[in-house]
Amino acid sequence: MRDYFYLGLYKTFGLILTILPRKAIIKLMKGLAWFAYTLSKKHQHIIHQNLDLAFAKQLSNKEKKRIGIDAFSNLIDTTFGIIYRDKMDKNKVIENVTFKNEEFIKAYQKENKQFILVTGHYGNWELLSQSIAIKFDLTLVGVGRELDSKVMDDLLIKNRERFNVEMVYKKGAMKGCIRAINQKKIVGILTDQHLPLAQSINVDFFNHKATHTPLASILSRKFGIDLVPAYISTDDYEHYTVSIHPPIKSLRTDNQEKDLKQMTQAQAKILEEVIRNNPNQWFWQHKRWKDFYKELYKIL
């Protein structure tokens, strides 16, 4: 019953997004974002605590509110985009997407070399994966969580595969990524989610200790594949920019622990720089620092 409810919502929003002009959709999106930020005191608290920690309490409440609402706008834009692009032509998907520093990826393709794409929950991250797969005519294999609804999970898989984006689930992600690399596909990894201490590498992130997935670094070291960071952003939710950053070179010395630490810290550093440049685009709603600041997210 729940699956059909979700499917009904998906089709309803699909119809709405098809009928409404883009500017009306953006107004709807921003209205829903304001409502979500205002209604969810829990997430509002998490956002403000994260911003206070990251920016040393230098932001005003007005600035934190604006960033918080924008964080919800990005999440809704990402979700709406999945629905809106269902059955869309590939060329139409990247019609309003600009690519910066695309030569970094083209250089690997010219040499027929693989790379691992590293990114985060920044801007419209679903559009990022589809845009790169379409622009560079490659198959991108991402790592994600299986949805609770089987019907919706299958629908999302079909939606992504139309644009040469495949998924492996977090459970068994290492095997799935190794299989993809052996098949000469490009692995894409969202690196900014919190992980338990036992599964992560500790990094310095906004001058505070945080956990970070080692998956990209492990794969890079094992296969000798460089890491290419890429992030997507927008100023108006109509035009998007994919920024590709200089590669993080694969390391393989006699000191495995040091290699993994160095590559993982490099990923965190680039993400931090991207966020500092435009904090409104990042997903501030998650408890990024909870393992080292246990009291941070408690509502008094």
Q: Say if 37 falls within a structural domain.
A: yes
Q: Say if 137 falls within a structural domain.
A: yes
Q: Say if 127 falls within a structural domain.
A: yes
What is the C-alpha to C-alpha distance for residues 124 and 147, in angstroms, rounded to an integer?
A: 19
What is the C-alpha to C-alpha distance for residues 270 and 92, in angstroms, rounded to an integer?
A: 30
Range of the domain at 268: 2-281
What is the C-alpha to C-alpha distance for residues 77 and 90, in angstroms, rounded to an integer?
A: 19
The set of long-range contacts for 27-36, using a CB threshold of 8 Å and a minimum separation of 24, is: 29/73, 29/76, 29/77, 29/80, 29/237, 30/69, 30/73, 32/72, 32/76, 33/69, 33/70, 33/72, 33/73, 33/75, 33/76, 34/69, 34/72, 36/72, 36/76
> Does pTM top 0.85 for this prediction?
yes
∠ CA 231-71-44, nearest 5°, is 145
143 phi/psi in degrees, rounded to 5: -110, 125
Q: DSSP class of residue 253?
A: -
State the pLDDT confidence band at 153, using cuts at 50, 70 and 90: confident
Q: Give mean pLDDT, residues 16-34.
A: 94
Q: Say if 291 falls within a structural domain.
A: no
Report how far apart, in Å, the C-alpha atoms of 297 and of each of 37, 62, 96, 136, 278 are: 16, 20, 38, 41, 23
Give the tens place of pLDDT for each residue, 164-221: 999 888 777 899 999 999 999 999 999 998 788 888 999 999 999 999 999 999 999 9
Return the higher-pLDDT residue of 117 and 198.
Answer: 117
Q: Give mean pLDDT, residues 99-108.
A: 98
Q: Say if 294 falls within a structural domain.
A: no
Question: Do 247 and 104 meet the contact criterion of CB atoms below 8 Å apart?
Answer: yes
**Which pLDDT score, from 0 to 100, does residue 300 have?**
57
With a cut of 90, say whether residue 283 has pLDDT above it.
yes
Reduce the DSSP state of residue 168 to 3 states and report it. strand
Q: Say if 100 falls within a structural domain.
A: yes
**Which pLDDT score, from 0 to 100, does residue 1 have?**
64
**Residue in this structure with the two tokens 């290699």, named with its chain if needed:** 259
Give the tens place of pLDDT for each residue, 186-195: 999 999 987 8
State the pLDDT confidence band at 255, using cuts at 50, 70 and 90: very high
Return the higher-pLDDT residue of 3 and 140.
Answer: 140
Q: Say if 300 falls within a structural domain.
A: no
Q: Say if 265 falls within a structural domain.
A: yes
**Which pLDDT score, from 0 to 100, does residue 156 have?**
74
Total of domains in the chain: 1
| Helix 150-161 / helix 2-19 crossing angle, nearest 10 deg | 40
Q: Give mean pLDDT, residues 41-46.
A: 96
Reduce the DSSP state of residue 164 to 3 states and report it. coil
